[in-house]
Amino acid sequence: MRCNAIVAGVGMTAFGRHLETGLKALGAEAVRAAIADAGVEAGALDAAYVGNAAAGLVTGQESIRGQVILRSIGLGRLPVVNVENACASGSTAFHQACAMVSAGLHDCVLVLGVEKLYHADKQKSFAAFSGAVDVEALQEILEKLRAAAREGASANGGAPGEKRSMFMDLYAAAARAHMQRWGTTVEQFAAVSAKNSLHGSLNPRAQFRAALTAEEVLAAPMIAPPLTRPMCSPIGDGAAAAIVVSESRARELGVARPVQVRASVLRSGWDHAPDAAGAVELCAELAYAQACVGPDDLDVVECHDASAPAEIMAYEALGLCPRGEGGKLAESGATRLGGRIPVNPSGGLLRKGHPVGATGVAQVVELTEQLQGRAGARQVPGARVGLAQNGGGNIGSDAAAMCVTILGT
């Protein structure tokens, strides 16, 4: 898809535990902030794309999630498209909005990602993740994970899916395989968590603001070996929004700091050999070609660090380093603020938080603010090109859905 879309404004809530705040209030806060940031009138919106993954399970709201949220703030009449695509729901909504604007069908579109995952009954929260696999094969998947637990791979953490998301066991298995194949160490995983905690401490909207040392990460409670608690992204509540406009509408509005969507790629996982390139590599390859840039042209990256090992694997899949050297890149400090290629200056999913449906749009918010030079204490100096990678669900050995977005000024 050739993009002719501009991000005119963004907004988001603080991510965290918002038990007393509903989807409508969270969504309204982000939408109002994005509209104000873009300097548009609500009546100028042509359509809305709303990403949400788990409201049906957690809150009971099905079918018309976007309509309910937007009507509550006076945004009726609009065509509203509800987008559910696992942890990639928000970035998929953004992709669809950009496609419609680029095709000339709309000039001004709202993108909203919103999620509530905290619930008094934790099993409801965990069920939201258990449904992001092939449920006809769920028992087989759980049995494999339980077998790993019986062998000691998940000591102290309970059975998969009971006291934690089953995805932490999937990430733990991938981490152990990476360690065995490439010699990656737990200290390198801890370096990622420590880095992102430093970044998150600089982000007023992050769920966790405490900076941790690598030693503190390693000493934290074990969740699913080798993953300690700070190596795992938390559940969370929150919302993020963006206003996407055509180039002509951006000129009409006099958008002072337009951010161009240079590439937006969405793909699904497929059956391939365990060592073969997967959805991240494919999306990155297509996005680089679409944007006419390469990994060396990137100034800042927001990647899907649902676990610390996932960030290291993303380094490799995105071409930030050769395969097998992601741990060394993390250890080198190159991905810290001030390093060669800062990754997750927001704090990433590990510290900013991971309200599933909001995550992909929150990455767009972070990159937009970075490229506009208004990221405050976590600003990457002179950032002009940013990449976001956001995926979700699991099929076989790959993500079920994957998005890579490249923004530039």
* Rounded Cα distance, 348 and 114, in Å: 17
Q: Could you tell me which residues come within 8 angstroms of residue 262 by beta carbon, excluding any fewer than 6 positions away?
A: 3, 290, 291, 292, 293, 385, 406, 407, 408
* 361 and 240 Cβ atoms separated by less than 8 Å: yes
* Rounded Cα distance, 265 and 251, in Å: 25
DSSP summary character for residue 18: -
* Rounded Cα distance, 60 and 144, in Å: 31
DSSP summary character for residue 324: T
> So which residues are the catalytic ones?
87, 354
One-letter amino acid of 388: A
* 66 and 209 Cβ atoms separated by less than 8 Å: no
* 26 and 238 Cβ atoms separated by less than 8 Å: yes
* 5 and 246 Cβ atoms separated by less than 8 Å: yes
* DSSP H or E run through 6: strand 5-12
Identify the CA nearest to 354 among candidates 256, 237, 195, 228.
Answer: 237
Q: How far lies 325's CA from each of 72, 84, 85, 187, 199, in Å?
A: 49, 34, 30, 14, 22
